[in-house]
């Protein structure tokens, strides 16, 4: 079993991994930038090492600094969390070369699934349904126009190395496609160092459904239920829930079987997420991508399944068989996660860094809060704006919503703006309560909602 883990990350995910390590009797090592010296993960870990200045490129993305810290601390494993180096195949290879276990999938799996075009081809070979689109990378604008005419508008242009909505554009005609192709390619080159694009049919009324999966080094693979991530703004998720209110039990089982097939197709080991687009009108699922890491929204799956996914990652990385079998899994109740970001939703989600003069998180039955902030903590402008995740669990969706509404009403913060008021407004919206929403819902909702001006 792994005895000492370095967490190559910061914020609430670093705190989450430290907690799992402590419960397993594993020593933890935090790394931090100079700006993060007062962060909670630094305080909670058994050891901590500074790895560079505030800039991510000089600290959390600096592979040599992280490996040096791992060697100094004499760890036998590294957990990458999510973001930063979590889906960096080269980092996984370096860990292996240094005889440090990478708590995640193999470099080959990361590389294969990280290339969106290659992932698409792999899934097609495994008989996993994919949206109609290009057979490979679209080399130029003229080829893009030809493919669009074949599959029909609207079309979605996506960066092969993409993520977070970057290098992604929707086009509804030849003129907008020509412009979108150039801007998406340039954005992909800036963001990922890879200008490659592929195309697929854009489904106008869709839901974003993803399956939490686990695979081990002994050929075992399971799914841990689905999450509905359709409440999002510009491809950035804001709220996730499990199970999806849109699916029947038959659809749920079908999607789980497809996800497990995808895991086995790439001989995948450790935690991952297979993401699907659900065509509401056609009632069809299409593979989007596979995230080869733990997700921000993993707590909702933990709450309904009872599985500690971070602990399971460590067990699998140790070379042991996973501790759960599909036939033994039982799902209970309903869980919702809302991301509290340091942003001002009343002003186009403007970033709101600054000093947290005071903060009070909700509690009580059915409430879980994953965070790294405390009164007096300064929200830094260098990193992601998420400061907490509020997760609620109820016997059914109605109760989970009621608990979330109560929790967000209890949440108090002084010093910065957050997305919490938006979350409360969502909980009180009749359409959301009915579960009648798609990926376009939040954008329309924002046009109707009015926030009190301070």
- Binned at pLDDT 50, 70 and 90, residue 111 comes out as very high
CA distance 157 to 178: 11
H/E segment holding residue 389 = strand 386-394
pLDDT higher than 50, residue 256: yes
Handedness of CA 238, 243, 245, 251 (dihedral sign): positive
pLDDT higher than 60, residue 187: yes
Which of 2-11, 281-290, 298-307 is predicted least confidently? 281-290
Residue 224's Cβ-side half-sphere holds a number of Cα atoms within 13 Å equal to: 27
* 252 catalytic per annotation: no
Residue 142, classified by CB atoms within 10 Å of its CB into exposed (0-12), middle (13-18) or buried (19+), is: exposed
pLDDT digits (tens, 9 = 90+) for 25-40: 999 999 999 999 999 9
Spot the catalytic one: 120, 227, 233, 293.
293
What CATH class does 4-97 carry?
alpha beta
In this structure, the chain runs to a length of 454
pLDDT higher than 70, residue 164: no
Number of CB atoms found within 10 A of residue 400's CB: 25
Which of 129-133, 176-180, 218-222, 438-442 is predicted least confidently? 129-133
What is the rounded average pLDDT of the residues 234-248?
A: 95
- Beta bridge partners, 367, equal 392
pLDDT of residue 454: 44
Give the domain 132-201 fold: Dna Ligase; domain 1 (3.30.1490)
- Domain 206-448, classified CATH 3.60.20.10, yes or no: no
- The ranges assigned to domains in the chain are 4-97, 132-201, 206-448
pLDDT of residue 452: 61
HEC profile for 279-311? ECCCCEEEEEEEECCCCCCHHHHHHHHCCCHHH
pLDDT digits (tens, 9 = 90+) for 323-349: 999 999 999 999 999 999 999 999 999
Give this prediction's pTM: 0.92
Rounded to a whole number of angstroms, the distance between the first and last alpha carbons of the chain is: 53
What is the rounded average pLDDT of the residues 428-453?
A: 90
Token match 């939703």: residue?
A: 345
- Binned at pLDDT 50, 70 and 90, residue 361 comes out as very high
């Amino acid at each position: 079993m792994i005895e000492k883990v370095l967490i190559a990350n910061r914020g609430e995910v670093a705190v989450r991994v430290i907690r799992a390590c402590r419960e397993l009797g594993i020593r933890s090592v935090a790394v931090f930038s100079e700006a993060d010296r007062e962060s909670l993960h630094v305080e909670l870990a058994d050891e901590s090492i500074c790895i560079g200045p505030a800039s991510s490129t000089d600290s959390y993305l600096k592979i040599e600094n992280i490996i040096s810290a791992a060697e100094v601390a004499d760890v036998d494993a590294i957990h990458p969390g999510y973001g930063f180096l979590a889906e960096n195949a080269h980092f996984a290879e370096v860990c292996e070369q240094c005889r440090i276990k990478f708590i995640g999938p193999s470099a080959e799996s990361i590389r294969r699934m990280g290339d969106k075009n290659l992932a698409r081809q792999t899934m097609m070979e495994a008989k996993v349904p994919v949206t109609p689109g290009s057979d490979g990378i679209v080399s130029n604008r003229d080829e893009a126009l030809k493919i669009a005419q074949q599959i029909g508008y609207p079309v979605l242009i996506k960066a092969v190395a993409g993520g977070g909505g970057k290098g992604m554009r929707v086009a509804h005609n030849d003129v907008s496609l020509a412009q979108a192709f150039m801007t998406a390619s340039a954005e992909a080159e800036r963001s990922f160092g890879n200008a490659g694009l592929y195309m697929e049919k854009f489904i106008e009324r869709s839901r974003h459904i993803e399956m939490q999966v686990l695979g081990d080094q002994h050929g075992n693979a399971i799914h841990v239920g689905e999450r509905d991530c359709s409440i999002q703004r510009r491809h950035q998720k804001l709220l996730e829930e499990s199970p999806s209110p849109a699916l029947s039990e038959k659809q749920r089982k079908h999607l789980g079987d497809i996800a497990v097939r995808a895991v086995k197709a790439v001989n995948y080991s450790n935690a991952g997420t297979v993401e699907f687009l659900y065509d509401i009108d056609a009632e069809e699922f299409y593979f989007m991508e596979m995230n080869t890491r733990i997700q921000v929204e993993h707590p909702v799956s933990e709450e309904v399944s009872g599985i500690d996914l971070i602990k399971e990652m460590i067990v699998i990385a140790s070379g042991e068989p996973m501790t759960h079998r599909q036939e033994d899994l039982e799902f209970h109740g309903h869980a919702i996660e809302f991301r509290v970001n340091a942003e001002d939703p009343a002003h186009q989600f403007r970033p709101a860094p600054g000093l947290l003069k005071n903060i009070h998180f909700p509690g009580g039955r059915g409430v879980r809060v994953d965070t790294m902030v405390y009164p007096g903590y300064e929200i830094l402008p260098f990193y992601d704006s998420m400061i907490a995740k509020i997760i609620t669990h109820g016997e059914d969706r109605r109760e989970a919503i009621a608990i979330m509404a109560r929790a967000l009403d209890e949440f108090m913060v002084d010093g910065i703006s957050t997305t919490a008021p938006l979350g409360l407004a969502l909980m009180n919206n009749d359409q959301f309560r009915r579960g009648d929403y798609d990926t376009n819902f939040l954008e329309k909702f924002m046009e109707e909602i009015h926030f009190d001006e301070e």
